[in-house]
Amino acid sequence: MKYPAWALNTISRNLNFVDSMKLIIDPRFFYDIRVVHLQRQVNDAQAEYFLKFLKPLSENIGFWICYSVDDVIKYEDIPKYNFAREVYNNKQFFANVTTDILKQYYVDNYGIQENKVVVIPNYLPRWWVGEIYDIAKQKASYSSNRNKPRIGIPLSSSHYDVKGINDWKDDLTGINNFIRNTTDKYQWVFMGHVPKKLEDLAKDGKIEVIPGSDLLNYPRELWQRGRFQAIVTPLEDNIFNRCKSNIKLIEGWSLGIPVIAQDLPCYSKYTDCTFKDENELQNQLDRVLGSKARYTKMIEHNRNIVDHGDEHAPNGWWLEKNLKRWYQMYTLPQRTIKINLQQIEEAAKKKNPTDNLPKGGLEVDLSI
């Protein structure tokens, strides 16, 4: 939510944003508001605020309420190993979502009208990644680590059964044995966390664990401290993970790091570099790392998709080239004016990212 707002705020004189972590209870504040953008409002106090204050005020004044969702938040469908699961054990609550699968999930589970849900993918801010991409350095790193490539697993704690509530079974379970059996062949590097079942390897120095990073510095830390020749992103096959976005792919591709992803729709729609089991993971590692020429070609191809796009992202995957979707959402006319939200998606499919923007809206050339 913050990155698109920041980007729009720096290039549009027509938009002003108020960012608050607290519930605003003065009705006068909302008189000239067009859109109230919420994310992960799930506890009792937030539900009461929404149902008894914000929604009636919206109907009276006419501002839109946009609930932004990048995950499944139905308690029953959140994996037991996800430590945040209990936060969503609230029956009162239940838009803007990040994937088509996630959209269909909310339509099917909550009877939401399809034209009330807009899909805006997780685009990557170029100013966040910066110019970290350096293919010459990545090729040199490939050569210097040829005998024992560094394979990164940079996953947040929500991927791990950190409390043992699921018998230590989590997103890493499917490849734990593979990692254990290949420590002589690959330098496995975990960023931030390590599975309980592999803690002995970390203690013995057979796998490497590097500290996690704050979000603002994450791309640089991933590149500088990780020095990965490839990234592996394992996921358990469940509805929660199937609804995820492809952001891990885009992050790796933007930095010039090949990503070998679990064969789930969130990834397989965008790449054939996926695996279902240990044998397929080994085959993909052999394919990615087997030839320097092929390795270089893959890096260049992936970065080209981020920069210039393909059939899945005609404008590429940089946020700055796709701000029109966010601009249209934040400039919706008041609810008293009838509008079909699918118009946003239809307009966003056009090639030129500045099409249909009001004059005086975005003042810079977005065609990076």
What pLDDT digit, counting tens, does each position of 46-88 carry? 888 988 999 999 999 999 999 888 888 777 888 888 877 776 6
Name the more confident of 92 and 189.
Answer: 189
Average pLDDT over the chain, rounded to an integer: 87
Q: Is the pLDDT of residue 331 over 70?
A: yes
Listed as own residue / partner, the contacts of 359-365 with beta carbons closer than 8 Å and 24 or more positions apart are 360/13, 360/14, 361/12, 361/14, 361/327, 361/331, 362/8, 362/11, 362/12, 362/323, 362/324, 362/327, 363/11, 363/12, 363/13, 364/11
Q: Is the pLDDT of residue 366 over 70?
A: no
Sheet holding 35-39, edge to edge: 35-39, 64-69, 96-97, 118-119
Q: Give residue 299's Cα distance to chain centre.
A: 20
Q: CB of 301 within 8 A of CB of 286? A: no
Same domain, yes or no: 190 and 109:
no
Same domain, yes or no: 274 and 327:
no
Q: Is the pLDDT of residue 90 over 80?
A: no
Say what the pLDDT of residue 71 is.
Answer: 83
| Chosen domain end from 259, 279, 308 | 308
Phi (first) and psi of residue 239, to 5 degrees:
-65, -30
Give the whole-angstrom CA distance, residue 147 versus residue 44. 55
Say what the pLDDT of residue 338 is.
Answer: 55
Q: CB of 1 within 8 A of CB of 39? A: yes
**Residue ranges making up the domain that contains 182:** 127-308
Same domain, yes or no: 180 and 299:
yes
Same domain, yes or no: 135 and 275:
yes
How far CA 169 is from CA of 80, 230, 327, in Å, comes to 9, 24, 42
Give the whole-angstrom CA distance, residue 167 versus residue 169. 5
**Within a domain: residue 30?**
yes
Phi (first) and psi of residue 150, to 5 degrees:
-90, 115
Give the whole-angstrom CA distance, residue 240 versus residue 81. 12
Q: How many domains does the chain have?
A: 2
| Strand locations in 50-153 (E) | 64-69, 96-97, 118-119, 150-153
Same domain, yes or no: 151 and 294:
yes
Helix axes 292-308, 278-289, angle to 10 degrees: 100
